Amino acid sequence: MTLRIAIDAMGGDNFPSPNIKAALELVNEESIEIVLVGKKDLLKKNLPDSFPESISIVHAPEMVDMNESPTAVFRKKKEASINVAMNLMFNGRVDAVVSAGNTGAAMASATFTLGRLQGITRPAIPILIPGIHGRTVMIDAGANVDCKPNHLLEFAVMGKYYAKLIMGKEDPTIALLNIGEEESKGDNLTVSAYRLLEGNLEGFIGNVEGHQIITGEQDVVVCDGFIGNVLLKFIEGIVSGLVGMFFDRQNERDNEILKQISYKFEYDETGGAPLLGVNGVVIISHGKSNSKAIKNAVLLAKQLIEHDINRRISMEMEKMVI
Amino acid sequence: MTLRIAIDAMGGDNFPSPNIKAALELVNEESIEIVLVGKKDLLKKNLPDSFPESISIVHAPEMVDMNESPTAVFRKKKEASINVAMNLMFNGRVDAVVSAGNTGAAMASATFTLGRLQGITRPAIPILIPGIHGRTVMIDAGANVDCKPNHLLEFAVMGKYYAKLIMGKEDPTIALLNIGEEESKGDNLTVSAYRLLEGNLEGFIGNVEGHQIITGEQDVVVCDGFIGNVLLKFIEGIVSGLVGMFFDRQNERDNEILKQISYKFEYDETGGAPLLGVNGVVIISHGKSNSKAIKNAVLLAKQLIEHDINRRISMEMEKMVI
């Protein structure tokens, strides 16, 4: 069966160009159909006069600003591309949605339109952090604040299947981000979450501290979305800070290291992060995404669908004793 | 008046040597008296046969392990060097204590022995994070978890006077670490803390996100000690991760950059971080501290005393409307 994936063509800082370019390349290389959602005129103007049949356009006349309130976008702009795209998925007309637009709006639209996956109360975002022993899935990277212990258990299960199905880790190890390794360490949230994870989660290896996100051997690190978001952005800050403080752009060796750092830390390769725990497949891409990033986001969506990650997560949640 | 500063001579991974070396250099260069607290025999064996009069020894027979429970150390080991040192301060026999021993034990001993500063309910640790525009004070770096909004206000005031008196910022700018810049963003803690800081704190400039710790121009960033501790350790992880992943120790240019990074991020220069908010002056140094770090920690203590930071903090707290 050919997959149909919707791209929010009005999403991203440089819309619609990276979205259209990605669509054209994708249908050329993969047995995939792309639905571009956005202003029809604009999209037609940016597509070649004759474009492949496997690309279609669904008109969405309303525009969303990057800083607009997510719930306002959902409630008042039913014809915005992100909302139209989510409705296509809700109605079974596409298998996944990729958007580089307003992140909050995409999360709100996905959660309200698609609803939550069976067993999940808080959808969450896993991201990949490069480390000494390979990449670690950090979840949640910012979809939730004020989490309860059972939310952290949900994140852990979602992160586990992300590591298992998408990163190919057979028996993923899952750790809880904390301020000490001992079970008794932490704040109210992590002390309770520790017990819940220990009692319910195969692969749970205990607490890890901040440095172990980079130096540790765990496959998944679980945390509240507040701290996940701070860490995600802190990485951006420290990478650009290192560049600004220590490297000389005139120096060949410096440029080589910078290129490697960018390669590992940039979004192009992963393309984006899924919003796991909604009743559908949604990839949130960075506003700065180029066509390569959008293309990889679509391929990530394809993997999530093919591995049926949602069903696996729901099945595991059914087994939990909370 | 000559200052008398106690060094926990049994503290640190390589005790007592860095502590003794620091003491000898300090009394040679500064008009300062050092009280070495620890096992008399061991200290005498490690001191030269004749040592300056401005160094004295106070005997403390009990040993503390780096992983021992902080409250147990306080309750059951009254003769441990850290507890003996804090008692010297409580009784006015020294003006400050420097310890590279068990951090938790030092914090517990300081809080229980000295009590809290007028107006402060939660002592906190400020640390310096290098950034594009200079160093930022991040407070709290790990003394507290499960903070309330008024605790964050206390941290903000302590951070402000640290930036003002120790870093020489005339009118420090203080920001709240959050997941968005708008006032409405954040979790329950930060949303409430925002209002409290805005209503009470001169120099408050609003929220900053994770990357701005490095790229922003604020002088102080305020956060819960859980996230502060994770960030502090994450920096260690990312610095060693960058070294492991991107640099070639055989390459001259790589080594040069590594040296710069270590210089900016290592503890030697700052020597340690104060535990602000207790009724006394306490510097917590890293277990790995060398004699230079201990020496700088003593000099930091001297600065805190000379600038009368505790009185300034208490005076400011009196003005608050909480």
pLDDT at B322: 66
pLDDT at B82: 98
CB spacing of B145 vs A186 below 8 angstroms: yes
Q: How far does the CA of residue B42 sit from the closest CA of chain A (Å)?
A: 32
In the three-class reduction of DSSP (H, G, I as helix; E, B as strand; rest coil), residue A142 is classed as coil
Q: In a 10 Å sphere around its CB, with 0-12 CB exposed, 13-18 middle and 19+ buried, how is residue A195 labelled? A: exposed
pLDDT greater than 70 at residue B280: yes
Out of A187, A229, A253, name the one closest to residue B210 (CB). A229
* CATH code linked to domain B124-269: 3.40.718.10
Which chain A residue is nearest to residue B261, measuring alpha carbons? A246
pLDDT greater than 90 at residue A271: no
DSSP letter, residue B179: S
What share of chain B has pLDDT > 90, as a percent?
87
Q: Are strands B220-222 and B174-177 parallel, antiparallel or unpaired?
A: parallel
Which chain B residue is nearest to residue A207, measuring alpha carbons? B230
If you average pLDDT over residues A61-78, what whole number do you get? 91
More confident residue, A151 or A288: A151
In chain B, where the domains are located:
1-121+275-308, 124-269
If you average pLDDT over residues A194-213, what whole number do you get? 97
- Report how far residue B139's alpha carbon sits from residue A304's, in angstroms, rounded to the nearest whole number: 41
- Report how far residue B307's alpha carbon sits from residue B304's, in angstroms, rounded to the nearest whole number: 5
pLDDT interval class at A290 (50, 70, 90): very high
If you average pLDDT over residues A236-247, what whole number do you get? 87
Which chain A residue is nearest to residue B260, measuring alpha carbons? A246
Out of A132, A210, A260, name the one closest to residue B244 (CB). A132
CB spacing of A227 vs B229 below 8 angstroms: no
pLDDT greater than 70 at residue A111: yes
Average pLDDT of chain A is 94
Average pLDDT of chain B is 94
Q: In a 10 Å sphere around its CB, with 0-12 CB exposed, 13-18 middle and 19+ buried, how is residue B50 labelled? A: exposed
CB spacing of A179 vs B257 below 8 angstroms: no
More confident residue, B212 or B265: B212
Which chain B residue is nearest to residue A263, measuring alpha carbons? B246
In the three-class reduction of DSSP (H, G, I as helix; E, B as strand; rest coil), residue A123 is classed as coil
CB spacing of A240 vs B215 below 8 angstroms: yes
Which chain B residue is nearest to residue A243, measuring alpha carbons? B132
Which chain B residue is nearest to residue A131, measuring alpha carbons? B241
Out of B209, B237, B245, name the one closest to residue A233 (CB). B209
Q: How far does the CA of residue A229 sit from the closest CA of chain B (Å)?
A: 6
If you average pLDDT over residues A80-101, what whole number do you get? 98
Q: What's the pLDDT tens digit per position in B15-51?
A: 999 999 999 999 999 899 999 999 999 999 999 999 9
Residues in B touching A241 (Cβ below 8 Å): 130-132, 214-215
pLDDT at B57: 98
Query: Which of A29, A162, A184, A3 is closest to A97 using CA atoms?
Result: A3
Continuous segment of H or E residues that includes residue B229: helix B225-246
Residues in B touching A237 (Cβ below 8 Å): 131, 210-215
Helices A149-161 and A188-200, axial angle in degrees (round to 10): 50
CB spacing of A247 vs B257 below 8 angstroms: yes
User: Are the CB atoms for B81 and B60 separated by under 8 Å?
Assistant: yes
Q: What's the pLDDT tens digit per position in B62-109?
A: 999 888 899 999 999 999 999 999 999 999 999 999 999 999 999 999
CB spacing of A237 vs B231 below 8 angstroms: no
Map A26-91 to HEC letters: HHHHCCEEEEEEECHHHHHHHCCCCCCCCEEEEECCECCCCCCCHHHHHHHCCCEHHHHHHHHHHC
Out of A130, A142, A210, name the one closest to residue B179 (CB). A142
pLDDT interval class at A266 (50, 70, 90): confident
CB spacing of A246 vs B260 below 8 angstroms: yes
If you average pLDDT over residues B116-135, what whole number do you get? 95
If you average pLDDT over residues A304-313, what whole number do you get? 97
Residues in B touching A179 (Cβ below 8 Å): 142, 145, 225-226, 229-230
Residues in A touching B245 (Cβ below 8 Å): 130, 132, 260, 264
- Report how far residue A113's alpha carbon sits from residue A87's, in angstroms, rounded to the nearest whole number: 7
Q: Is the pTM of this model over 0.80?
A: yes
- Report how far residue A102's alpha carbon sits from residue A93's, in angstroms, rounded to the nearest whole number: 23
Decide yes or no: CATH 3.40.718.10 for domain B1-121+275-308.
yes
Tokens of A249: 């752009």
If you average pLDDT over residues A174-180, what whole number do you get? 97
pLDDT greater than 80 at residue A267: no
Residues in B touching A234 (Cβ below 8 Å): 210-211, 213-214, 231, 234
Which chain B residue is nearest to residue A236, measuring alpha carbons? B211
Tokens of B85: 């040192």
- Report how far residue A181's alpha carbon sits from residue A158's, in angstroms, rounded to the nearest whole number: 23
CB spacing of A211 vs B233 below 8 angstroms: yes
Ranges of H-type helices in chain A: 17-29, 40-46, 70-76, 81-90, 103-114, 149-161, 188-200, 212-215, 225-246, 252-265, 267-270, 291-306, 309-318
pLDDT at B268: 63
Q: What's the pLDDT tens digit per position in B129-153?
A: 999 999 999 999 999 999 999 999 9
- Report how far residue A231's alpha carbon sits from residue A237's, in angstroms, rounded to the nearest whole number: 10
DSSP letter, residue B163: I
pLDDT at A262: 81
CB spacing of B146 vs A234 below 8 angstroms: no
**Interface predicted TM-score of the whole assembly (ipTM), two decimals:** 0.94
- Report how far residue B216's alpha carbon sits from residue A281's, in angstroms, rounded to the nearest whole number: 36
Q: What's the pLDDT tens digit per position in B197-246?
A: 999 999 999 999 999 999 999 999 999 999 999 999 999 898 888 888 88
Which chain A residue is nearest to residue B263, measuring alpha carbons? A246
Residues in A touching B71 (Cβ below 8 Å): none
CB spacing of A235 vs B231 below 8 angstroms: no
Residues in B touching A142 (Cβ below 8 Å): 179
Residues whose CB falls within 8 Å of the CB of residue B220, separated by 6 or more in sequence, listed in order: B126, B136, B137, B138, B139, B156, B159, B160, B162, B163, B172, B173, B174, B175
Asked if the domains at A1-120+275-307 and A124-268 fall in one CATH topology, the answer is yes
Topology of domain A1-120+275-307 in CATH is Isopropylmalate Dehydrogenase (3.40.718)
Residues in A touching B131 (Cβ below 8 Å): 237, 241
* CATH code linked to domain A124-268: 3.40.718.10
pLDDT greater than 90 at residue A322: no
If you average pLDDT over residues A4-31, what whole number do you get? 96
Q: What are phi and psi of A38, to 5 degrees?
A: 170, -165
Q: How far does the CA of residue A252 sit from the closest CA of chain B (Å)?
A: 10
